[in-house]
Amino acid sequence: MATGYFTHSACQKHDMGPGHPECPQRLTAIDDHLRAQGLDAVLLPGDVPHATLDQLGRAHDHNYVIGTLDSLQRLEAAQDHRSYDPDTIGMSATREAALRAAGAAVAATDAVLTGKLANAFCSVRPPGHHATRHEAMGFCFFNNVAVAARHALDVHRLKRVAVVDFDVHHGNGTEDILDGDERVLMVGTFQHPFYPYTGDHPLGTNSVNVPLPARSDGRAFREAVQDRWLPALEDFRPEMIFISAGFDAHREDDMGGLGLVEADYAWVTEQLMHVARRWSKGRIVSCLEGGYNLSALSRSVAAHLRVLSGQM
């Protein structure tokens, strides 16, 4: 079976303004690099529908979903923009992009769980892991991975899923939504102290958070994965793995202060595939989160996808 590649042109139209690091060029850079490396030929494009109200409501408060979509629809009609927090700006194309981004994660989950794909990567934006049950923040409107994880649990009736987050920032929104859901194990590394200044004290018992100090390199990251993540994942035996794939911990990315390189992203993907083969029938859905140096981002995504697609 193939590796799916889920993306949509609407995700490139969401634009938070000149100089904003979470820019449309992120997806263009990824697509261009994958074509240059010939990886596009081994990836199976997936259809990307809108996420539905029911799907979003499994992760977010109903009033938040309705209110956010209503405000974004007004921006679309008025061709206007507004700030949802100091870093997060909605504009005329945001509603469509946000619905497609979450919809991609759900569609990828369906395709993997029905056996159409071995695994999948969602090259989408806006990202999701800072969006809490009730709040947009940190460039994020809807929590794509949390929406997909709850879809796997509540619709496909899986008993256990794991959410893995290696973004440079703590996935506070994912933890807010999934805290206390004993069907979910969350494991993550992130720079600390650093935005959003959470994660050093997990909210509940279903999170394995490993804060890393600034200037930590790939060796520290690999030790965290080997010593903390992998034993927890083995004990939990997830039936599916979801990845919040942030590549802003790369040493060339000025948004953070960690020192990972492409080989580290390939290595952690290999480790997760080993776990998935043992307990999850190989089932992985990975969704793009951070990564703002366009060259480092595109090279890191390619390294991630080479492993997922068996091209190493």
The verdict on pTM exceeding 0.75 is: yes
In a structure prediction context, what are the per-residue pLDDT tens digits for the chain, which is 312 residues long?
Answer: 899 999 999 999 999 999 999 999 999 999 999 999 999 999 999 999 999 999 999 999 999 999 999 999 999 999 999 999 999 999 999 999 999 999 999 999 999 999 999 999 999 999 999 999 999 999 999 999 999 999 999 999 999 999 999 999 999 999 999 999 999 999 999 999 999 999 999 888 999 999 999 999 999 999 999 999 999 999 999 999 999 999 999 999 999 999 999 999 999 999 999 999 999 999 999 999 999 999 999 999 999 999 999 997
Which residue in 8, 14, 60, 130 is the catalytic one?
Answer: 130
Residue 84 sits at φ, ψ, to 5 deg, of: -95, -25
The CATH number of 3-308 is 3.40.800.20
Single-letter code of the amino acid located at 87: D
In the residue annotation, 129 being an active-site residue is answered as no
Regarding beta strands 207-212 and 184-191, do their DSSP bridges make them parallel or antiparallel, or are they unpaired?
parallel
Single-letter code of the amino acid located at 80: D
Residue 33 sits at φ, ψ, to 5 deg, of: -70, -40
CA angle 180, 127, 99 (to 5 degrees): 95
Residue 171 sits at φ, ψ, to 5 deg, of: -80, 70
Q: Cα-Cα-Cα-Cα dihedral of 230, 109, 301, 269, to 10°?
A: 20
Q: How far is Cα 113 from Cα 188, in angstroms, rounded to an integer?
A: 24
Distances (CA, A) of 192 to 211, 215, 224, 249, 258: 5, 11, 14, 12, 10
Closest by Cα among 90, 188, 208, 180 to 142: 90
Q: Cα-Cα-Cα-Cα dihedral of 116, 274, 261, 223, to 10°?
A: 150
